[in-house]
């Protein structure tokens, strides 16, 4: 008898996470769904069990709360059926930095960076030992563009991209696939939750199209998947420029332009 692999998805009660749940269930996986809203998770679990035959567990957790986060970490560490983690739960923070409260900034950083890093840390050693599995981290194109004026949200998403790329370097040779997915504006509740009027946003991507595109990148084992980027050569050029810069660093020598005038 073969065991069906299980995918743990955070932020699965709605939006991108709920759509991943739908798609992975239809691909023949069992699921563990994580979010705060237990009633919504239960409703999704009932529908997916009914429509796909998948075994679906729910784990109600507020990922900004250390105790709740620890329970999800324990599940990832101990449940050997889980071979894929989708680090999707996240939120945005609108308005200028100087108008954001220090506490709301700290909460956003906890949800968008501490939680995915801790959850990846909980599962990665087991996957590396098994030589298989995947970690999918949902970033954002906002993490590429300080000019968008969402400094803290963008910084959390830059963290997600860097973490994903670093983990890919470390874990790919051990057989573990790590993917960063960078959506642009997508039609979900994130806007309303952040107090942004989505109806005023032009041209949002539909969530099903976003997740289906991300899964094309997943199946290709792309390290970085950017569904709204039409000319892939832009990403290749950015990466090549970055590697060129890194190759030009000479640790022991100050660059000519910084040498004090004699």
- Residues noted as catalytic: 153
**Please, where are the H alpha helices in 143-261?**
151-171, 190-193, 207-219, 232-247
Rounded least distance, CB 128 to ligand NDP, Å: 25
Tally of helices (H runs) and strands (E runs) in the chain: 9, 7
Query: What CA–CA distance (Å, rounded) separates 30 from 53?
Result: 9
150 contact, one of ligand AKB, ligand NDP, none, CB 5-8 Å limit per kind: ligand AKB
Whether the CB-CB separation of 61 and 84 falls below 8 Å is answered with no
For residues 36 and 85, the answer to whether their CB atoms sit within 8 Å is no
Residue 17 binds ligand AKB (CB under 6 A): no
**Which residue matches tokens 């980027």?**
229
Select from 10-18, 25-33, 52-60, 184-192 the region that touches ligand AKB (CB under 6 A): 184-192
Residue 213 binds ligand AKB, judged by CB under 6 A: no
Q: Which of residues 12 and 171 has its CB atom nearest to ligand NDP in the complex?
A: 12
Site of interaction with ligand NDP (CB under 6 A): 11-17, 35-37, 40, 61-64, 88-91, 111, 138, 140, 183, 185-186, 188-190, 193
Q: Which among 92, 110, 89 is positioned nearest to 194, based on CA atoms?
A: 92
Chain residues binding ligand AKB by CB under 6 A are 92, 140, 142, 150, 184-185, 190, 194
């Amino acid at each position: 008898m073969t065991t069906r692999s299980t995918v743990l998805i955070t932020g699965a009660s709605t939006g991108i996470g709920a759509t991943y749940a739908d798609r992975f269930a239809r691909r023949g996986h069992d699921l563990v769904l994580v979010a705060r809203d237990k009633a919504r998770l239960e409703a999704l679990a009932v529908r997916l069990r009914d429509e796909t035959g998948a075994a679906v567990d729910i784990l109600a957790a507020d990922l900004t709360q250390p105790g709740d986060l620890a329970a999800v970490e324990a599940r990832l560490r101990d449940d050997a059926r889980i071979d894929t983690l989708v680090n999707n739960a996240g939120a945005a923070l609108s308005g200028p930095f100087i108008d954001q409260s220090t506490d709301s900034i700290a909460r956003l950083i906890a949800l968008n960076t501490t939680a995915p890093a801790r959850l990846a840390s909980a599962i990665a050693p087991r996957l590396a030992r098994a030589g298989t599995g995947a970690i999918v981290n949902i970033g954002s194109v906002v993490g590429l563009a300080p000019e968008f004026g969402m400094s803290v949200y963008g910084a959390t998403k830059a963290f997600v991209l860097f973490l994903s790329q670093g983990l890919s370097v470390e874990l790919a040779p051990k057989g573990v696939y790590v993917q960063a997915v960078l959506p642009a504006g997508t039609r979900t509740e994130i806007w309303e939750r952040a107090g942004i009027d989505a109806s005023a946003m032009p041209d949002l991507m539909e969530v099903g199209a976003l997740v289906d595109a991300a899964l094309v990148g997943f199946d290709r084992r792309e390290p970085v998947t950017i569904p709204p980027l039409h000319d892939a050569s832009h990403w290749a050029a950015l990466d090549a420029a970055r590697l060129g810069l890194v190759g030009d660093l000479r640790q022991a020598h100050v660059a000519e332009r910084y040498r004090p005038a004699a």
